[in-house]
Amino acid sequence: MSSDAEQELRSSDSLSRSSSPALEARTNGHSEESPSRQDTRSSRNLLDTSYAPKVLRKTSDCLVSQEPPSHCNESKVLVLYSGGTIGMVRDCEGGVLRPMPQVMENRLRTFPQLHDAEYSSTRFTDPNKPPLVLPCTGDPNRVVYTIYEYDPLLDSSNATMDDWVRIALDIRAYYEQFDGFVVLHGTDTMAYTASALSFMLENLGKSVIITGSQIPIFEPRSDGRENLLNSLIIAGNYVIPEVTLMFNNKLFRGNRTSKTSINELDAFSSPNLPPLATIGVKIKVNWKAVFQQNTMEKFRVHSKLNRNVGLLRLFPSITVEVVRAFLTPPVQGVVLQTYGAGNGPTARADLLDEIRRATLRGILIVNCSQCTQGSIDAAYATGNALCAAGVIPGSDMTPEAALTKLSYVLSKTEWSYATKKEMLQASLRGELTVAKPSKLDDLDLITAIARTMNISSPEELQSLQTVLYPSILCSVTAHGDVDRLEVMRQFGAYLSSCDYDFRTPLHVASSEGNTAMVRYLLQHGASVHMRDRDHHTPLMSAVLCDQHAVIELLVQAGAHLSLPALQLADELCTAARNGNVKRLESYKLAGASFYESDVTGRTCLHATLLQTSSHH
């Protein structure tokens, strides 16, 4: 666990009495259920005093084995089970659905589509409960996962901002130990949680998927099993560095969703953005739609939110007294839900004056439509009047996204009022659509090639693009041609596309030691967590080629070593025995400790001394 995460968790909701998940796994081989760190925040430090303090309980751990798998690649996924219908059980008396603590993991072990008991017993020989393992799905990685369960379990109708903070801090605490994260959550406030986490998890580089179900996972007929299975497969095999929401075979950007049905299994929709991925016979990811960071900063959590926000929905003949009461202190931000394309009653000078006075007092008011589809448009006089009163156009944000974004932006005390207004109109996490000027029309590279090959159908065109772009990108990267890569990016190339060996342009640039290319790729959203066929990240590629300047850049952008402890110790000892100081320096720059011990208990320092004594 990182030191800053541990310090914050001590002062807020803490996780367990052990100092580090990785150390705990190495020393105990198993995480006990009971010694979980209690919440320690006093009521004055909470955003909402109705928040129920939580304990995070663990019954198994992906980290019980520090040895690499022998015959396949594995990815580790942490499931944070917060509650919701997905884990409820009918009681014996009236058949009422109730949350049942500490049964989820044991029940999942009996589901062959969610746990491969044979593989698990062979791979993990610890007598205590090993982690769960998905059966082979034909994807590149075998997904090993563990469930950490909150106590008490939460009905999402009782969710608070403090619950969002708790989940965000838990993800940060275990960020380097796992390849992806799944949050099991109730559906009623799932869209709010997904939106809030999307803003709080800054510079996110791994998949965080929120899911749940309309029918409990333990019922004979349930959507929960499919939702969980799909979430685990994507979190363990695809680096989609966003907070997403998985439901009914569709992966949505979390801050674009709303719950639209009480009874249908297709309970969530994303009215203004198509799904990022659809699950059919194959999983199809729309990589062009995946949000790309434009920063080289490390992942961090912004754990402060402002609770003084609200939703005000206009209706005919709304009184000025209602609006005035809503805009009085301590309110600091309001999502104003207006008619149509952002229109308000221009004939109501009293309302406009009240709104204008509020914005002059520094209250941030964001205009969102009551319609689920479409965007705010100031072309109408009724919408322009609100802009003149200081109301900020909210584009096509959902009310859930606008509210949580307001809470996030208002909590940024380092930002000025003008900056906060600017940030509310900007796309911080892909929560709103920003019009982009067309630079290159339709004459892109793939279209030109398709014409020469007489390809016309959309399916054939997409297939051609999937085959050609990754290889061309890697070739251009290998030649160090940043200008040509920029042209391809403008044509729509996804810079984390992987070739037949699952190598991305960042793998290639890291191996070549081209710092200018690495910097360019990182500044345009290339993922530092993608793995090639050998399960190497770009950081590992740089280490194996001793590209020290590149290693420093990658670490600056949030890359970290992900080798099992024993494998890392073996690599260090081998370098020490061979006198390979440059390789040892590479590992040190990448964050390795020279105190890692191999299966015999020896460190690379022992190996160095033994090698020195043998020469004498």
- Is 189 a residue whose pLDDT tops 90? yes
Contact 199, 423 (CB under 8 A): no
Any idea of the CA torsion for 595, 597, 602, 608, to the nearest 10 degrees?
-50
What is the C-alpha to C-alpha distance for residues 232 and 241, in angstroms, rounded to an integer?
15
- Is 20 a residue whose pLDDT tops 50? no
- Is 139 a residue whose pLDDT tops 80? yes
pTM above 0.85, yes or no: yes
- Is 16 a residue whose pLDDT tops 50? no
pLDDT value at residue 448: 65
Domain extents in the chain:
3-63+74-301, 309-425, 445-611
Question: How does residue 419 score in pLDDT terms, banded at 50, 70 and 90?
Answer: very high
pLDDT above 70 covers what percent of the chain?
85
Please give the positions annotated as active site: 187
- Write the DSSP assignment of 270-300 as a string of letters: -TTS--SEEESSSEEE-GGGS------PPPE
What is the C-alpha to C-alpha distance for residues 55 and 41, in angstroms, rounded to an integer?
13
Any idea of the CA torsion for 516, 440, 527, 400, to the nearest 10 degrees?
140
- Is 40 a residue whose pLDDT tops 80? no
CATH 1.25.40.20 matches 445-611: yes
Question: How does residue 492 score in pLDDT terms, banded at 50, 70 and 90?
Answer: confident
Report which of 131, 75, 85, 140 is spatially closest to residue 105, judged by C-alpha positions: 131
pLDDT value at residue 51: 93
What is the C-alpha to C-alpha distance for residues 415 and 561, in angstroms, rounded to an integer?
34
* Two domains, one topology: 3-63+74-301 and 309-425: yes
Strands 88-90, 250-253: pairing kind: unpaired
Between the CA of residue 187 and those of 98, 210, 375, 407, 428, what are the distances in Å? 15, 10, 25, 21, 24
More confident residue, 40 or 470: 470
pLDDT value at residue 462: 67
- Is 536 a residue whose pLDDT tops 50? yes
For the chain, what percentages of helix, strand and coil (3-state, to nearest 5) are there?
40, 15, 45
pLDDT value at residue 554: 97
Q: How many CA atoms lie within 13 A of 94 on its CB side?
A: 3
CATH 3.50.7.10 matches 3-63+74-301: no
Average pLDDT over residues 582-607: 90
Average pLDDT over residues 296-319: 97
DSSP 8-state code for residue 138: S
More confident residue, 372 or 25: 372
Question: How does residue 434 score in pLDDT terms, banded at 50, 70 and 90?
Answer: confident
pLDDT value at residue 379: 63
pLDDT value at residue 29: 35
DSSP 8-state code for residue 616: -
Q: What is the CATH number of domain 309-425?
A: 3.40.50.40
- Tell me the pLDDT tens digit for each residue of 197-224: 999 999 999 999 999 999 999 999 999 9
Contact 543, 587 (CB under 8 A): yes
What is the C-alpha to C-alpha distance for residues 232 and 413, in angstroms, rounded to an integer?
37
Strands 300-301, 201-202: pairing kind: antiparallel
